[in-house]
Structure 1
Amino acid sequence: MLSPNQVLTPRQKALQINLNKNIYGTFSEIGAGQETVRYFFRAGAASKTIAKAISAYDKEFSDSIYGKEPDNRYVSQTRLIKMLDHEINLIEDRIDRTNCPGRKFFSYANTVTTINFNKTFKGHGWVGIRFQLHESESYNEIILHIRFHENDAKLQQETLGILGVNLIYGAFFYSDDPKKIINSLYDELSTDQLEIDMINFSGPGYTHVDNRLMSLQLVKNGMSDAVVFEPNGKNVLPADELYKKNIFALRGSFRPVTNVNIDMCNQGLKMFKKEKNVNNHNTKVLFEITLSNLRAAGEINEQDFLDRADVLGKLGYTVLISNFSEYFRLVDYFSRFSTEKIGISMGVNNLLDIFEENYYTNLSGGIMEAFGKLFKQQMKIYLYPYIDPETEKLLNSENLKVNESLKDLYKYFKKNERIVDIKDYNDSYLKIYGKKILAQIAMGKSGWEDQIPKEVADMIKERGMFGYSMGTLLTTNQ
């Protein structure tokens, strides 16, 4: 008898599914053998669960079943969806439901590439399941993207098999709790073995699910270092968004987005686009929020997170949620996907943090190792000036005071134009402080509306974001 907190093994999960007479479907696996369905065959009693298992490994044969890929990319979400479409249609065409009342059909698929021979690329893949929760209901779907971390193809195959079993089990037995499904994907696995950097839930069973929150779970649980979603809230694969792109990023709390944030982005981006081979078509702009920022007030407030994401989406920005406290880790992450130019727009206080040696005590190479990762790929910092509220002094890269031991290093990066001042800024924005605006919103004071974009102010009022209350405002103004 299992205790309430005991995790089932992959074999136990497969057997429990096999013993359920109403779960019935197909397995199609390409690129790493038939590792998932193997558990179901070995568990026993599989004859009423497995309709078909296929591994159309040869590209020509696979094309004859699922069609050709115009871009010649076979480890892709497009390919996975074609596989799910084809297999579900087959099972619907060939199985007469009148002979099997109560049956819930499913199709599980994966298309992956494991580590290459020279071990220079560890491999990745797409994994998904399309399934019914009730026989008369339309299909639900869970799709995820993985990156392998292990250095052996056989180990990666075994990891993929366990992940597949966990996904199928979670889809049927934890269907009403997407967060539990996500957590269960790592049963008998660890983040040292693989990373999940994108997941999407869809279908009638998940109309209430906001996939941005599911992305947040991945970062929060250490399953991924970063996730990306578009202005419309759709989760996207970071590699697809950033591949071979020039990348321009702005980090902040965006609680709420202020005119300073927008000016810092726009003016820095304008300078970035003056760089050789940088234009609108080959540049990706990201607004980044770190996990530590989301936790600034304690536990992560999901509604607060969604409010920030909605505001950025309203302004048309792509959002990156990351677990990167240090800027060098952010740049190192971008370098996974692109060898093009990287630009980061930031304020004076952020730059001072970068030139603080205590910031890098966790690195064996200290600040020099960090700077080696930070300033690679022609990375430039576009520095937005700051007015010290106490001294009223304007601070920029020319009059910043860094630690004495780092002065020469600072001068080197300045001289080589790796740190450049944003000069075409709006003077009237320099005394806008996000924390002050947030306090004004919560206290019901007026005047904050002029310090943020109009569409953001309207959204805050309409939806009562960031502590805004019409009742509080009326009471304050009486």
Structure 2
Amino acid sequence: MSEIKQFLTPKQKALAINLDHNIYGTFAEIGAGQETVRHFFRAGGASNTIAKAMSAYDKDYSNSIYGKEEKNRFVTQNRLKKMLKHEIKLIDERLDNTETPNRRFFSYANTVTTINYHKTFKGHGWVGIMFQHSPNGEYSEILIHVRFRENEASLQQETLGSLGVNLIYGAFNLYDNPRELIKSLYDDISVDKIEIDTIHFEGPAFPYVDNRLMSLQLVKKGMTDAVIFNSEGKNMLPADILYKKDVFAVRGSFRPVTLVNTDMFEQGLKMFLKDTEGKPEDTVIIFEITTFNLRATGKIDERDFLDRVDVLAKLGYTVMISNFAEYYRLAEYFTTYNIRYFGVAMGVNNLQMVFDEEYYEHLSGGILEAFGKFFRKDMRVYLYPYKDPETHELLTSKNLKVNDNVKELYKYFIANRRIVDIVDYNPDFSEIYSREVLAKIAKHETGWENQLPEGVAEMIKERGLFGYKETIQIEEL
């Protein structure tokens, strides 16, 4: 029998921290009451841990302490950081460790909004901690963004309290193992109760942490469906960049990104902007990689993941990592952020998969249910032609063969311009296949360099990406 790992309950964790005389700090909670600190009061021995607990619930009073935010918003990352820094400053000003040289200070804070009265908005929030992992040391921080999934405010408050205890306990006991720390955030909490869609580690406690890999852990462990980060590797809150925007997405394995990918993106985007009459600044461009395309031998190769992200980042693209195997789930995800228009660029070979009925056997409504979710209002597919490597036939929407059962449905989408061909593609790229490029890279062959965007080949060689190894020639003396 496999060993079942036991975890501590929030009450046990709170008590363990209370009994540790070397952990001492403050709590500041806005929006859902003092749900986290309540665990420490109830556990007993709280005087050893709690220097101060406050709930700046009234907005005017909160602003008088932490200052106003842009547009007078309260549930923002900037607000959370202000709260943490303000409270830590007070700790440093008012306390010292003369008589307690081993004591480590912390400040825990959250700013959240729970479900509204009509239950049309389930709520979300920011939760974080600044802490010393060693006495008198510099402070480190962990910031997370959560989205509530429960339908009752009281349940959301209870879950938030447990999450806060898990975060504080993890910060002091698991800072040297951030993967385990992330996993422990859900101790005694079901993943269907709360979603963590953004996480950020910073400071001397995390000298080797790559926040992109930490974001990947959230997707791998089912804590969220997708994470987004910019070309600088910074985690982006999906709502901040997607809300009421036009979204143009390109899905691929990007192993590596080729001239086909960039041509598909550039030409498809031109058509999308023309169709939507949108402005580039109002359009979010996403290069999406599904974890199903990250798996090599049954599990995700994290080094390979970073290689792909680094190459896309070099080209200045925003990257999304998702657990969506099907395209309709991608469309569903974006529509939760009230986007205006959605366009997706894909190759003909991918569209063939979209029209494969076996792809949707898990849905009670089958392919019709999937298409109802995928081809939503204002959604359009921009189709890049594909040259069959064996027959050399160029496939477009006009000669693509689909199953007889969905042929009329396919014609409907074509007639209503829900599927449109990218016509201004570069024919010189039609025989570039990423799998062949990858094979040449691994075998150290030549000729693949000019099939990639400018600068990518040099990066692959310099860093030894995708199996490339520099061959060192040793000349005979």
Task: Report the TM-score, using the length of structure 1 for normalisation.
Answer: 0.97
CA deviation profile, 1:309-351 (whole Å, cap 9, x unmatched): 0000000000000000000000000001133000100000111
How far apart are the structure 1 equivalents of 2:410 and 2:395? 15
Shift of 1:4: 8.9
What is the aligned partner in structure 2 of residue 336 from structure 1? 336
How far apart are the structure 2 equivalents of 1:241 and 1:455? 28
What is the aligned partner in structure 1 of residue 183 from structure 2? 183
Aligned partners of 2:196 and 2:223 also within 8 Å: yes
What is the aligned partner in structure 2 of residue 301 from structure 1? 301
What is the aligned partner in structure 2 of residue 83 from structure 1? 83
Matched, 1:21 2:46: no
Shift of 1:205: 1.4
How many pairs does the alignment contain? 472
CA deviation profile, 1:166-200 (whole Å, cap 9, x unmatched): 00000001110000100000000011101100100
What secondary structure does 2:191 align onto? coil
CA deviation profile, 1:73-122 (whole Å, cap 9, x unmatched): 21110111111011111111111332332211100001111111111111
What is the aligned partner in structure 1 of residue 325 from structure 2? 325
The residue type equivalent to 2:183 in the other structure is N
How far apart are the structure 2 equivalents of 1:213 and 1:273? 33
Deviates more, 1:275-284 or 1:114-123: 275-284
Aligned partners of 1:339 and 1:377 also within 8 Å: no
What is the aligned partner in structure 2 of residue 105 from structure 1? 105
How far apart are the structure 2 equivalents of 1:305 and 1:383? 26
What is the aligned partner in structure 2 of residue 291 from structure 1? 291
Aligned partners of 2:226 and 2:321 also within 8 Å: yes
Aligned partners of 2:247 and 2:339 also within 8 Å: no
How far apart are the structure 2 equivalents of 1:276 and 1:47? 60
What secondary structure does 1:454 align onto? coil
How far apart are the structure 1 equivalents of 2:223 and 2:96? 41
Matched, 1:209 2:209: yes
What is the aligned partner in structure 1 of residue 47 from structure 2? 47
What secondary structure does 2:46 align onto? coil
Matched, 1:10 2:10: yes
How far apart are the structure 2 equivalents of 1:169 and 1:36? 12
How far apart are the structure 1 equivalents of 2:89 and 2:100? 17
Matched, 1:160 2:173: no
How far apart are the structure 1 equivalents of 2:365 and 2:113? 34
The residue type equivalent to 1:29 in the other structure is E
What is the aligned partner in structure 1 of residue 386 from structure 2? 386
How far apart are the structure 2 equivalents of 1:212 and 1:69? 28
Aligned partners of 2:276 and 2:341 also within 8 Å: no
What is the aligned partner in structure 2 of residue 117 from structure 1? 117
How far apart are the structure 2 equivalents of 1:325 and 1:390? 27
Matched, 1:424 2:424: yes
What is the aligned partner in structure 2 of residue 405 from structure 1? 405
The residue type equivalent to 2:67 in the other structure is G
Aligned partners of 1:246 and 1:338 also within 8 Å: no
Shift of 1:70: 2.0
Q: Which residues in structure 2 correspond to 1:152-301 (within 5 Å)?
A: 152-301=152-301
Shift of 1:142: 0.2
Aligned partners of 1:263 and 1:425 also within 8 Å: yes
What secondary structure does 2:98 align onto? helix
Aligned partners of 1:340 and 1:377 also within 8 Å: no
Task: Report the TM-score, using the length of structure 2 for normalisation.
Answer: 0.97
What is the aligned partner in structure 1 of residue 463 from structure 2? 463
CA deviation profile, 1:133-176 (whole Å, cap 9, x unmatched): 11221100000001111111101100000000000000001110
What secondary structure does 2:188 align onto? coil
How far apart are the structure 1 equivalents of 2:152 and 2:179? 30
CA deviation profile, 1:6-39 (whole Å, cap 9, x unmatched): 2111111001101111100000111111110001
Shift of 1:283: 0.3
Q: Which residues in structure 2 correspond to 1:310-321 (within 5 Å)?
A: 310-321=310-321
What secondary structure does 2:40 align onto? helix
Aligned partners of 2:343 and 2:382 also within 8 Å: yes
Structure 1 runs of 4+ aligned residues shifted over 6 Å read: none
How far apart are the structure 2 equivalents of 1:136 and 1:463? 39
Aligned partners of 2:140 and 2:202 also within 8 Å: yes
How far apart are the structure 1 equivalents of 2:188 and 2:428? 56
Shift of 1:244: 1.1
CA deviation profile, 1:183-242 (whole Å, cap 9, x unmatched): 000000011101100100000111210000000000000010000011001111111111
Q: Where do 5+ consecutive residues of structure 2 fail to align?
A: none
What secondary structure does 2:369 align onto? helix
Q: Percent identity?
A: 64
What secondary structure does 2:205 align onto? helix
What is the aligned partner in structure 2 of residue 144 from structure 1? 144
Matched, 1:370 2:333: no
Q: Where do 5+ consecutive residues of structure 1 fail to align?
A: none
Q: Which residues in structure 2 correspond to 1:443-462 (within 5 Å)?
A: 443-462=443-462
How far apart are the structure 1 equivalents of 2:228 and 2:311? 15
Deviates more, 1:69-78 or 1:159-168: 69-78
How far apart are the structure 2 equivalents of 1:47 and 1:339? 48
Query: Using a 3 Å threshold, how does the CA distance of structure 1 residues 4 and 416 change in structure 2: closer, same or farther?
Result: closer
Query: Using a 3 Å threshold, how does the CA distance of structure 1 residues 27 and 319 change in structure 2: closer, same or farther?
Result: same
Aligned partners of 1:66 and 1:86 also within 8 Å: yes
What secondary structure does 2:138 align onto? coil
How far apart are the structure 2 equivalents of 1:26 and 1:276? 50
CA deviation profile, 1:443-475 (whole Å, cap 9, x unmatched): 110110010013110000000000101228x69
Shift of 1:276: 3.3
Aligned partners of 1:324 and 1:330 also within 8 Å: yes
Aligned partners of 2:242 and 2:339 also within 8 Å: no
The residue type equivalent to 1:25 in the other structure is G
How far apart are the structure 1 equivalents of 2:109 and 2:96? 23
Query: Using a 3 Å threshold, how does the CA distance of structure 1 residues 70 and 454 change in structure 2: closer, same or farther?
Result: closer
What secondary structure does 1:343 align onto? strand
How far apart are the structure 1 equivalents of 2:359 and 2:124? 33
